[in-house]
């Protein structure tokens, strides 16, 4: 556990080395929610470029809820899984209809929103409302496993993260831990020699010992190969739909599986289920 004796070291390091990210300059709950959904499995540098476009076009949940889903899908190009754009729209609708247009701060209320999981809910509470929750993503989980010197179960990791938050300083603390994981305690080649809490770490990049972060709760594993995958076919069809409807008979070719009609039909159907497409009179189009 990152005990109180080491909180000062990490916060001092963050004061000198913390990343200056645009969403860290606001406490607007809707803008923070936007950034957190966009950051799910997408590189920070890409979100830095695109986040301003989204807050300008959708400054409030109401403006997002009133927009066509197809517009959000179109804007989402290059930001990873398109279903997150659909979830963002569903979130906006829920916030507008159920919460009067205000992003809730209650954890259970946030978890009830489409596409909002435990990490994102806590991130909104911490970074928008400055509450003393602890976020647990792959970076934080890696640090916890390494400092403990063993793999952790999810509840144990969350409890350890919660216990480490300095009272009244949750915003700064969580940013510091996230930055440490992103820049120092990295998955490959961690910079243990400059880590501000290395003296507390029970692993310290010891190549003779299996990295305890591997297989630990919250630590992500590499995705399956994209080339030739169902994900690639889905992405190709959504990209084509942004230019207009696609006839059902053309989907195998569009998805890169010419001759494999059964696979194209199966995967195209998942887009409909996920709200990324609609099927009308023998053709697919954006909702």
The answer to whether 39 and 120 have CB atoms below 8 angstroms apart is: no
Report the alpha-carbon angle 88-73-226, nearest 5: 100
Q: Looking at the DSSP assignment, which residues form a beta bridge with residue 284?
A: 246, 279
Annotation says 12 is catalytic? no
- Alpha-carbon Rg for the chain in angstroms: 21
Question: Which position among 12, 36, 71, 227 bears the catalytic label?
Answer: 36
CA distance 106 to 154: 21
Q: Can you say whether the dihedral through the CA atoms of 154, 219, 186, 78 is positive or negative? A: negative
CA distance 116 to 36: 9
CA distance 8 to 13: 8
- Residues noted as catalytic: 36
């Amino acid at each position: 556990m990152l005990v109180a004796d080491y909180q000062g070291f990490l916060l001092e390091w963050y004061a000198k080395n913390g990343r200056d990210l645009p969403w860290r300059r606001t406490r607007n709950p809707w803008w923070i929610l936007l950034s957190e959904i966009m950051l799910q499995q997408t590189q920070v540098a890409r979100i830095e470029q695109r986040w301003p476009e989204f807050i300008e076009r959708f400054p409030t949940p109401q403006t997002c809820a009133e927009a066509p889903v197809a517009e959000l899908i179109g804007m989402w190009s290059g930001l990873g899984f398109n279903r997150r754009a659909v979830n963002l729209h569903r979130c906006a609708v829920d916030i507008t209809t159920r919460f009067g247009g205000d992003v809730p701060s209650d954890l259970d209320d946030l978890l009830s929103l489409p596409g909002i999981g435990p990490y994102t809910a806590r991130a909104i509470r911490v970074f928008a409302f400055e509450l003393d929750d602890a976020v647990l993503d792959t970076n934080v989980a890696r640090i916890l496993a390494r400092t403990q010197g063993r793999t952790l179960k999810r509840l144990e990791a969350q409890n350890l993260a919660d216990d480490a938050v300095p009272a009244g300083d949750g915003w700064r603390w969580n940013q510091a831990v996230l930055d440490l994981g992103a820049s120092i305690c990295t998955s490959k080649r961690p910079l243990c020699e400059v880590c501000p809490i290395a003296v507390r770490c029970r692993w310290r990049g010891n190549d003779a010992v299996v990295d305890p972060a591997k297989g630990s709760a919250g630590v992500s594993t590499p995705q399956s190969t994209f080339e030739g995958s169902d994900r690639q076919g889905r992405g190709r069809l959504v990209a084509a739909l942004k230019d207009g409807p696609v006839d059902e008979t053309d989907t195998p070719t569009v998805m890169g599986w010419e001759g494999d009609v059964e696979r194209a039909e199966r995967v195209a159907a998942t887009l409909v289920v996920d709200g990324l497409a609609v099927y009308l009179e023998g053709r697919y189009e954006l909702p």
